[in-house]
Amino acid sequence: MKSFEAVFGGVPAAIGHAPGRVNLLGEHTDYNDGFVLPIAIPQQTHVAIRRRSGTAFSLYSATLDRTATFALDAPPLDHFATYVYGCIAVVRTAGFEVPTLDIHLSSTVPIGVGLSSSAALEVATLRALRLLLTLPFDDVAIAQLAQRAEVKHAGVHCGLMDQMAASLANTTQALFLDTRTLERRLWVLPPDSAVLVLDSGVARSLATSAFNQRRAECEEAAQRLCVHALRDVDISELSRIDALDYPLRSRARHVITENARVLQAVQTSNPRDFGLLMNASHASLRDDFEVSVPALNCLVALLQAEPEVYGARLTGAGFGGACVALCDDQALQRVADRVLNQYTREDFCGAVLVPSA
Interface residues with ligand GLA (CB under 6 A) are 23, 27-28, 30-31, 158-159, 161-162, 316-317
DSSP 8-state code for residue 27: -
162 part of the active site: yes
Q: Which entry of 162, 199, 288, 328 is annotated as an active-site residue? A: 162
Q: How far is the CB of 315 from ligand GLA (least distance, A)?
A: 8
Would you say 31 or 137 has its CB closer to ligand GLA? 31
Calpha distance 196→306 (Å, rounded) = 13
Q: How far is the CB of 97 from ligand GLA (least distance, A)?
A: 29
Would you say 27 or 33 has its CB closer to ligand GLA? 27
Helix (H/G/I), strand (E/B), else coil: 331: coil
Q: Position 161: which residue type?
A: M
Q: How far is the CB of 222 from ligand GLA (least distance, A)?
A: 15
Q: How far is the CB of 174 from ligand GLA (least distance, A)?
A: 14
> How do strand 101-107 and strand 57-61 relate by DSSP bridges?
parallel
> Which residue blocks in the chain are alpha helix, DSSP H?
4-8, 79-93, 117-133, 139-149, 161-168, 207-224, 248-265, 271-287, 294-304, 332-345
Would you say 161 or 189 has its CB closer to ligand GLA? 161
| Residues 300-306: contacts with CB under 8 Å, at least 24 apart | 302/339, 302/342, 302/343, 303/196, 303/198, 303/335, 303/339, 304/279, 306/335, 306/338, 306/339
Q: Is the CB of residue 176 less than 8 Å from the CB of residue 184?
A: yes
Would you say 137 or 211 has its CB closer to ligand GLA? 211
What residues are labeled active site?
162
